[in-house]
Amino acid sequence: MPSNTTVLEQPAHSTISLPSGQTVRIRSETALAVDEIPIIDFSAIWSDDIEAKKAIAEQVRQASHRIGFFYCQHPGIDPKYAAAAFEQGKRFCALPMEKKLEVDTARVANEYVGYHKMKGYNRNKRKQQDLSEAFNWAYDPSYDPQAVGNSEPSISIWPSDFPGFKEELYAYHTQLLQFARRMTRIFALALHMPEDYFDDYVKRPEAGMRIIHYPQQEASAVDQNGIGAHTDFECFTIVTQDGNDGLEVLNKNGYWVKAKPVPDAFVVNIADCFMRQTNDYFVSTVHRVINKSGRERYSLPFFFGFDRSKRLEAVPSCVSEENPMKYPVMTSGEYYHYRATNAKAGSS
């Protein structure tokens, strides 16, 4: 997604209401520094050893069902790509506002690309607007080594006279795109399906990315968030963090848990489309960002989903006569537009 986050209403600080209407209780606004999010070694993901990949998949299965978050350590991507992308993000955020507004997201209806201004959203109706700004860009087949065709133009918009920006961001995007396709094979094994089960879904995937800038936050978490509590709405998200804390995950007991940066590791979280397709076996978990690190924080989330033409039908291993599909079938594109439109409507 582009940003692809599902906004959650928060009428009171003790509860949030999910899009399904389910209410989730928040027991404390103070995040806990506990080891609830598993760290999984992904060094075998590029190998042809099916047993090694099945071993990864079983860990992914447990984490995706229990909490919907895990650390993906040793992903096999040179860190120079992330470092270059972070530098480009800092360059962009340092631009004058009038330059950034050349690519205001309002210029592209129903899509989440372009610039999202500082304090432009208030996802949970706090006293103060969310303290962050972002630039989003989308899949472009011309930067995809496995593209099945490049006749369809990208929906992204780019600032003029800003050399290196687009190229460096897509250099990292391409690395993550190839990794995400490998990840779908791990997820297929995790769902006890053939390894190639999702291959047809990811030939022309939804693969948006964003650079997010969070200034140091002075207000309390009760009064302001960096990004308010939400779920993502593709299949899964791969987050590259800088060295600063801020990401927090809501566990099943209603407590926020810190997702601290782990060396040589992404944070991966399940998103809404995958929860739907797995009939709620995988869980799309509420998360937010509160930057109390004392420093500016940047992150690079990569939002991976299926081809917009594909129908989001239930994974066969997740349904039965006793456990029928809970959600109506629609295409990935229909679901994306529904969620993106609602998310952009949350700006102010």
The secondary structure of 58-95, three-state, reads HHHHHHHHHCCEEEEECCCCCHHHHHHHHHHHHHHHCC
Containing structural domain, residue 53: 5-344
What token pair was written down for 52? 């090694």
pLDDT for position 78: 97
Question: What would the pLDDT profile of 176-224 be if each residue is shown by its tens digit?
Answer: 999 999 999 999 999 999 999 999 999 999 999 999 999 999 999 989 9
Task: Give the SS3 label for residue 51.
Answer: helix
Name 25's bridge partners. 15
* Backbone torsions φ then ψ of 182, nearest 5 degrees: -65, -40
How many Cα atoms are found within 13 Å in the side-chain-facing hemisphere of 260?
A: 9
CA distance 48 to 321: 36
The reported pLDDT for the residue numbered 204 is 92
Q: Are 195 and 235 in contact (CB under 8 A)?
A: no
Return the structure tokens found at 199. Answer: 């291959």
Instruction: Give the pLDDT mean for 297-320.
Output: 94
* Token pair 């299965």: residue: 61
- Mean pLDDT along residues 118-123: 86
- Cβ neighbours for 17, distance < 8 A, ≥ 6 positions apart: 8, 9, 10, 11, 23, 24
Task: Check: pTM over 0.85? Answer yes or no.
Answer: yes
CATH number at residue 181: 2.60.120.330
Q: How confident is the model at residue 229 (pLDDT cuts 50, 70, 90)?
A: confident
How confident is the model over 241-279, as pLDDT tens digits?
999 999 999 998 889 999 999 999 999 999 999 999 999
Number of structural domains the chain divides into: 1
* Averaged pLDDT for residues 8-13: 45
Residues 72-78 have a mean pLDDT of 97
